[in-house]
Amino acid sequence: MNNLIYMYSKTFCMEDAQAVFDQLRDRNSLSWGAIIYGYSEQGQGVRALELFEDMQLEGLQPSRAVFLSVLKACSTVGAIMTGREIHDQVIRLAFGLDVTIQSALVNMYAKCKSLDEAYAIFRGCKSLDIVMWGVMVAGFVENGQGQSAFELFKRMQALAVKSNAVIFISLLKACNTKHEIKQGMFIHEQIQISGLQCDMAIQGSLIDMYSNCGNLEKAREVFDQTLDRDDVIWVSMITTYIQHGHKDYARDLYAHMVDEGIRLNGKTFVSLLKVCNSDYSDLLWLIHDDIIRGRQEIDVVVGSALVDSYGRCGFMEEAYYLFVKLPERNIVSWGGLMAAYIQHGLELRALKLFDTMLEHGLEPDRAALSCTLQACCGTGNITRGKEIHDLIIKNSSEFDAVIISSLVHLYAECGSLREACKVFDGASAKDAVSWSVIIGGCCLNGNLKLAAQYLNAMEKLGVKPHKVIFTSMLTACSQAGSLREGYRIFKFMTEDYGIVPDESHLSCMLDLMGRTGGLNDAKELFQSIPFEYDHIIETSLLTGCRTYCTMEVGKLWFKKAFYG
């Protein structure tokens, strides 16, 4: 019977696996391990952790395999508190020196945004294998610390540790702006030295890297030099053209791929569907037609991607029709349609769909919950939002950073700053986005003092503030007429964090100076603008000129705008 549970679990037939498990009278560690493994692998981390708790209540000792499954479950749902408890058990049961368990722990802490704990385990590991190096590099990259990932890679080189495809792919993901293209090209050189340039996954990642760095010529060069191109390589290049707005190139390359007889599978169809937007509705219809003509089975994954794409393109009736016709609907299908409704201002439909999903007995994941909270926010329905909050508390003892951000945003937008702060202060999982949301919420509700306190706390924890935070704070200063505080924040942003002010920051400062009569300062700031400004900055400046009858700055703007 245990083998039967494993078979169903490995093929993701979890209803069948659960049915067999429920029939067992004498469940042993293998039985529990099989069912926990299935739910963990399928991404149902909450259910896996519930079963793990039940297993322990029966007095059974977890095996190495069970620990690996539940650590992965913690990673999936961001359950860092549970992960720490499991870590303690691992040490007590003498699994702490197992390098595979250590890798799983590093991965869990990194996925839960606790890089300090992840790196502490990595640093204390006596036998670092290539998997452990790869997990730590990926952890840095996934948490936006690309520079730390590159430093770790250099350490690998110094120790003569040979990199593999997984590590190179992670490093390429860290190069995603035009400023990081030199690092990307360096990794490209290292790939060639390592002899891995023919690896299809690496080739696709190189195309993506050059695309993200804005160098389409190099991306196309990699594509053209790739021999025996598979469907992944074709889709990477087509996706690159779509993301950069090259419609004709994208359509022509798709047609060329079809002419070459390249058959896409479910995974590559989904990759293409994910990037189709309203500008590419004709390509969406073509892809859908090819799926049908190729007799590609529209399973729940491909079907959900089609629902998502039609919804994203604004074809809501078609999206709903496809949703209803799906042979099977999972949480991704429901969440995709909900997200589409919210995108197009149909929040009430999204909330109704959420209720229907619950009636069908599905347990919402964090994406569905986040969508629902967003819908509550869009309708200003704080009462319904509190009901969703209660549901989240009922189903989970801890929240991940995505849910925290969604709850804080809901309460702040609905004017309940006290509740927003209560949620944030009580959370263990906080990332840079969460901090941005609470600070933005304070600013939105006119509490600039509290926003500054959170910014100071964020700085002490070593979390680097995103530039959006400063836009929120400068906007609040402008609305409050707090010129001195605005200067302080602007100086803090530019000097302490080295953030180059963008148009939104400059617009806020000019508006603030205009409101408070500091147009001479506005004149100096205006002259220092290093890039072409848009109509928002022009409006901010001219409003100030009109309000304070200051013609000099107005004339300066006119000369700069028309004569350079």
Average pLDDT of the chain is: 85
Of 10-14, 177-181, 478-482, 531-535, the least confident: 531-535
Half-sphere exposure of 534 (CA within 13 A, CB side): 7
Of all residues in the chain, the percent with pLDDT exceeding 90 is: 46
Q: What is the 3-state secondary structure (H, E, C) of 464-499?
A: CCCHHHHHHHHHHHHHHCCHHHHHHHHHHHHHHCCC
Task: Read off the pLDDT band of 469 (50, 70, 90).
Answer: confident
Calculate mean pLDDT across residues 285-308: 83
Of 10-14, 168-172, 402-406, the least confident: 10-14
Does pLDDT of 542 surpass 70? Answer: no
Per residue in 360-379, pLDDT (tens digit) is 988 888 889 999 999 999 99
**Which residue from 221, 161, 175, 169 is spatially nearest to 199, judged by alpha carbons?**
169
- Alpha-carbon distance of 352 to 348, in angstroms, equals 6
- Alpha-carbon distance of 70 to 57, in angstroms, equals 16
Whether residue 496 contacts residue 529, with contact meaning beta carbons closer than 8 Å, is answered with no
Calculate mean pLDDT across residues 510-525: 66
Does pLDDT of 518 surpass 80? Answer: no
Whether residue 507 contacts residue 540, with contact meaning beta carbons closer than 8 Å, is answered with yes
**Which residue from 215, 256, 222, 252 is spatially nearest to 236, judged by alpha carbons?**
222
**Which residue from 451, 367, 466 is spatially nearest to 417, judged by alpha carbons?**
451
How high is the pLDDT of residue 520? 60
Torsion over CA: 98, 99, 101, 106 (sign): positive
How high is the pLDDT of residue 463? 74
| Domain boundaries of the chain, sorted by first residue | 398-465, 469-564
Does pLDDT of 106 surpass 70? Answer: yes
CA 220 from chain centre, in angstroms, equals: 27
Calculate mean pLDDT across residues 311-337: 91
Residue with tokens 């002010």: 501
- Alpha-carbon distance of 114 to 64, in angstroms, equals 23
How high is the pLDDT of residue 500? 75
Angle between helices 448-460 and 467-480 (to 10 degrees): 160
| Contact residues for 388 (Cβ-Cβ < 8 A; gap 6+) | 369, 372, 373, 376
- Alpha-carbon distance of 133 to 112, in angstroms, equals 18
Per residue in 303-320, pLDDT (tens digit) is 899 999 999 999 999 999
Query: Alpha helices, DSSP H only, in 326-447?
Result: 331-343, 347-359, 366-379, 382-395, 401-413, 417-425, 432-444
DSSP structure class, residue 26: S
Calculate mean pLDDT across residues 339-356: 95
Of all residues in the chain, the percent with pLDDT exceeding 70 is: 89
Calculate mean pLDDT across residues 402-423: 93
Does pLDDT of 234 surpass 70? Answer: yes
Per residue in 14-51, pLDDT (tens digit) is 888 888 888 888 888 888 988 999 989 888 888 899 99
Q: CA dist 353 to 319, 336, 364, 376, 393, Å?
A: 13, 11, 12, 13, 21
Does pLDDT of 101 surpass 50? Answer: yes
Calculate mean pLDDT across residues 73-78: 87
How high is the pLDDT of residue 562? 43
How high is the pLDDT of residue 213? 92
How high is the pLDDT of residue 490? 84
Per residue in 428-465, pLDDT (tens digit) is 767 778 888 999 999 889 898 898 899 888 888 777 77
How high is the pLDDT of residue 548? 46
- Alpha-carbon distance of 466 to 417, in angstroms, equals 21
